[in-house]
Amino acid sequence: MIRINRETDYATAILGVMAAEPDERFSASGLAARRGLPGPVVSKILKQLVRGGLLRSHRGAKGGYSLARDAGAISIAEVIMAMEGPIALTDCIEGGGEACQFHAHCVLSTNWSRINDAIYRALQDVSIKDMIEPLTDDHPGLRNLGRHVRDSLGGSAGQAKAFRFDHG
């Protein structure tokens, strides 16, 4: 249904809580209580975000999780990729040509790729910090969403590709 899964939604909510108090450490159970979510679910999400490099974890008693970088530098696109893998609307885009028999001669794939690109950049332009702050004149935030989109589409014809998370 062209929808992000529930865990990703939870992830943004959790990151939102954490972004309000950076430099703080949060336990999984504490965050779960704060958001009214089941403990194990929150725990699973946090582990995934650590793997994606968005959070840092601290083991042992008095351990917990903290943001790996500034909330303004964590985009929704990254959250989605950390939770769900590459952003690729179609199999064809993800496979990069292997998946689809007609790829070489198919004009659709390049245009799907552009649409995918547009959506990706839209998601990349929104940070966790943007998400927790209401829109004001001082905080343009989401208002600029789409500018990069337009700019990008004037550029070179993008090869079909999926946007993959850089786990390095």
103 vs 148, which CB is nearer to ligand FES?
103
Q: Is 64 in the site for DNA (CB under 7 A)?
A: yes
Span from 4-12, 41-49, 50-58, 60-68 in contact with its own copies (CB under 8 A) = 4-12
Q: Which amino acid is at 93?
A: I
- Among positions 51, 57, 84, 97, the unique one binding its own copies when judged by CB under 8 A: 84
Q: Is 96 in the site for its own copies (CB under 8 A)?
A: no
DSSP state for residue 168 in the 8-state scheme:
-
- Which residue bears the tokens 């790829």? 103
Q: Is 144 in the site for its own copies (CB under 8 A)?
A: yes
CB of 164 to DNA, least distance (A): 16
Tell me the C-alpha distance between 149 and 14, whole Å.
28
45 vs 123, which CB is nearer to its own copies?
123
Tell me the C-alpha distance between 160 and 99, whole Å.
12
Window 68 to 97, contacts with ligand FES (CB under 6 A):
92
Residue 32's contacts (CB-CB under 8 Å, 6 or more residues apart) are 38, 39, 41, 42, 43
From ligand FES, its own copies, DNA, none, interface partner of 109 (C-beta below 5 to 8 A by class): ligand FES
Picking from 29, 109, 111, 119, the residue whose alpha carbon sits closest to that of residue 81 is 119
116 vs 127, which CB is nearer to ligand FES?
116
- Which residue bears the tokens 């659709």? 108
Q: Is 159 in the site for ligand FES (CB under 6 A)?
A: no
DSSP codes joined into one string, 38-76: -HHHHHHHHHHHHHTTSEEEE-STT-EEEESS-GGG-BH
Interface contacts to DNA, rule CB under 7 A? 1, 5-7, 10, 26-29, 38-41, 43-44, 46-47, 50-51, 57-65, 84
Interface contacts to ligand FES, rule CB under 6 A? 92, 100, 102-103, 106, 108-109
